[in-house]
Amino acid sequence: MDSVRYDVERRGHRVPIALKILIAGGFGAGKTTLVSALSEVQPLQTEEILTGAGIDTDDLSGVETKSTTTVAMDFGRITINEDLQLYLFGTPGQDRFWFLWDELAFGALGAVVLADTRRLADCFPSIDYFEQRGIPFVVGVNCFDGSRRFSLGAVRRALDLDPDVPMVLCDARDRQSGKAVLISLVEHVARQRGEPVPAA
Amino acid sequence: MRTDLPGHQHEWLDDDAGPVVRPYTLTGGRVRPDADGFDLVAYVLARPDPNLAAFPELHPEHRLLVELAGRGTPLVELAAGLDLAIGVVRVLLGDLLSRGLVSVHQPPRATYLPDNDILKAVVDGLRAL
Ligand SMILES: Nc1nc2c(ncn2[C@@H]2O[C@H](COP(=O)(O)OP(=O)(O)OP(=O)(O)O)[C@@H](O)[C@H]2O)c(=O)[nH]1
Ligand SMILES: [Mg+2]
């Protein structure tokens, strides 16, 4: 296998590696909160146009007049070094945006599925999505105040998770907690490749 | 794989930098958003000293894009920076690409299949945050 260099230099410019990580989960599960907690920049938003009709290229101003809806996506960035960045994408919560998930998931390193223990079933579609496509994921069990504490084992059973899918308790508002979830994802990806990242 | 535009020599690019993407497929002024789309993190780099004056037909958004891409910027950041939908930015990039004003690099393969060194760098980097 030829190794791909990522320090390609061209006239002083390199194309950095930008790894994509999806933050998924049900409505209100804490996706936006997690992206903001982890991102080094103010939570950014971008949108995608939902339309079957397409966009008129020479008439930007006409876009609004067509029957288009836009869907906002959160994203954030973590710079590891000048050649390596993580992009976190909060997935849109609703099922009718599945096609956007495909775009987000394309080439993604993996995903974090946030499970809200008050509404566990809300994350089933996310889990199904990643399982069906073989995209590595971890489950972050988001501990909302006042919600009943479930044991991780009980949540795992309820979600019917594969034994090797990591589960991590987290607080999406807390950066350290979010970091731990991302680390468990990257380690999971490495384990799946059969090349575990050595413990620090 | 790398696709050069007919009539344009992208000699300022290195082959290892990842594929240069074909202009967006335009059909009668319409875009097929899912076909040949640039990746969300496709890397956009403006040509050094782009001669924008030669293209009076370009919109102010095109010009802003070229400016933002001077440093080399992923597509999604351009969209956020211009406050435009991703699909619109893809179209504008197609216009710029066909005029040789920018190059667009789909993510290098290491982005989709990072090796263990990269994964380790990510874990170490996250731990150090
Ligand atoms: N106590 C607690 N509250 C949280 C946590 N994560 C998110 N919240 C709160 O829950 C609410 C919803 O969080 P969001 O981040 O907006 O959830 P979301 O998944 O982006 O929601 P949608 O995009 O609407 O699907 C906000 O008021 C957050 O402050 C958490 O870990 N603990
Ligand atoms: Mg949200």
Q: Quick one: pLDDT at residue A198?
A: 59
Residue of the CA atom closest to atom 14 of ligand 1:
A30
B44 vs A103, residue with greater confidence: B44
Task: Classify residue A39: in a domain, yes or no.
Answer: yes
Q: Per DSSP, what are the bridge partners of residue A22?
A: A89, A111
Average model confidence (pLDDT) across chain A: 81
Task: Classify residue B10: in a domain, yes or no.
Answer: no
* A40 alpha carbon – ligand 2 mean position (Å): 18
d(CA A170, CA A141): 6
CATH of the domain at B45: 1.10.10.10
Q: Quick one: pLDDT at residue A38?
A: 95
d(CA A176, CA A179): 5
One-letter-per-residue 3-state SS of chain B = CCCCCCCCCCCCCCHHHCCECCCCCEECCEECCCCCCCCCCCEEEECCCCCHHHCCCCCHHHHHHHHHHHHCEEHHHHHHHHCCCHHHHHHHHHHHHHCCCEEEECCCHHHHCCCHHHHHHHHHHHHHC
Task: Classify residue B3: in a domain, yes or no.
Answer: no
Given the cut 0.85, state whether the ipTM is greater than it.
no
Question: How many domains, chain B?
Answer: 1
CB contact under 8 A, B61 and A60: yes
CA-to-CA separations, B19 to A3, A107, A138, in angstroms, rounded: 16, 15, 31
A14: nearest CA partner in chain B = B17
Tell me the residue range of the domain where B115 lies: 23-128
Task: Classify residue B54: in a domain, yes or no.
Answer: yes
Question: How many domains, chain A?
Answer: 1
A86: nearest CA partner in chain B = B122
Task: Classify residue A49: in a domain, yes or no.
Answer: yes
The yes-or-no verdict on residue A187 having pLDDT over 60 is yes
Give this prediction's pTM: 0.81
CB contact under 8 A, A179 and B79: no
Task: Classify residue B68: in a domain, yes or no.
Answer: yes
- Determine the 3-state secondary structure of A198 from DSSP: coil
Task: Classify residue B16: in a domain, yes or no.
Answer: no
Task: Classify residue A164: in a domain, yes or no.
Answer: yes
Determine if ligand 1 sits within 6 Å of the CB of residue A31. yes
Q: For residue A149, name the pLDDT band (cuts at 50, 70, 90).
A: confident
B8 vs A196, residue with greater confidence: A196
Task: Classify residue A183: in a domain, yes or no.
Answer: yes
Name which of B27, B36, B40 to mutate to probe chain A: the one with the most chain A Cβ atoms within 10 A of its Cβ: B40
A99 vs B44, residue with greater confidence: B44
Task: Classify residue B56: in a domain, yes or no.
Answer: yes
Task: Classify residue A38: in a domain, yes or no.
Answer: yes
- Closest ligand (CA of A74): 2
CATH of the domain at A87: 3.40.50.300
A144 vs A22, residue with greater confidence: A22
Task: Classify residue B9: in a domain, yes or no.
Answer: no
Neighbours of A94 (CB within 10 A): 11
Q: Quick one: pLDDT at residue A151?
A: 84
Determine if ligand 1 sits within 6 Å of the CB of residue A171. yes
- Closest ligand (CA of A26): 1
Task: Classify residue A66: in a domain, yes or no.
Answer: yes
Buried b (16+ CB within 10 A) or exposed e, A97-131: beebbebbbebbbbbbbbbbbeebebbebbbebbe
* A122 alpha carbon – ligand 1 mean position (Å): 14
Task: Classify residue B4: in a domain, yes or no.
Answer: no
Task: Classify residue A140: in a domain, yes or no.
Answer: yes
Tell me the residue range of the domain where A97 lies: 15-192
pLDDT, block means (10 residues), chain B with 129 residues? 37 40 30 59 92 92 94 92 86 91 85 88 95
Task: Classify residue A5: in a domain, yes or no.
Answer: no
What percent of chain A has a predicted confidence (pLDDT) above 70? 76
